[in-house]
Amino acid sequence: MRTRLRPGRFLVLALVVAFIGLLAYGLVSKAENNDVDRALLQGLPAASPGLDLPLLPGFEPGALPSGAAADGRLSLEELRGRPVVLNLWASWCPPCRVEQPLLADAARRGGRGGPVFVGLNMQDLTDDARAYLAEFRVGYATVRDPSDATSRRWGATGLPETFFLDARGLVVGHVVGAISTAQLAAGVEAARTGRVLGARAGGERREVR
């Protein structure tokens, strides 16, 4: 016996699909460079905009692959072959503080066999950024984007934002806003398998200054 979709349920489903479409469009249209999200919203992995930035001190031994960042700078090319979780944050951003314990804990639990977590600090004072890392006991590596040029290439429109890259260095997921436990787990799995997660809205966020 075939089950018919009731008109009321169909309307709810249509509204949900429309809302997701508008949300996805919003994620793309607000970005100065929206190449990453445009690809993800089509179900395709995106080429990484890359980064080559100075590291902030204090991360734990083993946080990066052997030989990476020997000159005090980190590039994504040095992480090729490992899935990567890239999180954009600033110390003045309250939602960043909300999600930070979740990220730090996930990085610790993943260990050397898990993805490489990298923080990208932007629109911040160096001393404030260092105090933040110490306060939350962030053990993974953090780079600093003093000019915001790198974050603009990634299409950042707010903080926090989290990108997931697979072992080939392709972007397979993006969460705008404070990330949830479920979103982080799904992103890590997408980075590990290379399956495209897409662009998604997270929790609270702050506009970039």
The string of DSSP letters for 93-153 reads -HHHHHHHHHHHHHHHHHGGGSPEEEEEEESS-HHHHHHHHHHTT--SEEEEETTSHHHHH
Residue 4's pLDDT band (cuts 50, 70, 90): low
Three-state SS for 185? helix
Whether residue 28 is predicted with pLDDT greater than 80 in this model: the reply is no
Q: Is residue 2 part of a domain?
A: no
Q: H/E element holding 87?
A: strand 84-89
Q: Is residue 55 part of a domain?
A: yes
Q: Is residue 129 part of a domain?
A: yes
Residue 198 to residue 135: CA distance in whole angstroms: 32
Distances 127 to 57, 58, 199 between C-alpha atoms, Å: 11, 13, 32
Geometric angle at alpha carbon 132, from 129 and 134, rounded to 5°: 115
Kindly state the average pLDDT of the residues 188-194: 97
Lowest mean pLDDT among 26-35, 115-124, 126-135: 26-35
Q: What is the CATH number of the domain that holds 99?
A: 3.40.30.10
Q: Is residue 50 part of a domain?
A: yes
- Domain span at residue 67? 7-207
Kindly state the average pLDDT of the residues 3-15: 49
Percentage of the residues of the chain whose pLDDT score is greater than 70 = 85
Q: Is residue 144 part of a domain?
A: yes
Percentage of the residues of the chain whose pLDDT score is greater than 90 = 80
Kindly state the average pLDDT of the residues 108-137: 95
Whether residue 31 is predicted with pLDDT greater than 80 in this model: the reply is no
Can you read off the two tokens belonging to residue 44?
């395709």
Number of domains the chain contains: 1
Q: Is residue 104 part of a domain?
A: yes
Q: Is residue 178 part of a domain?
A: yes
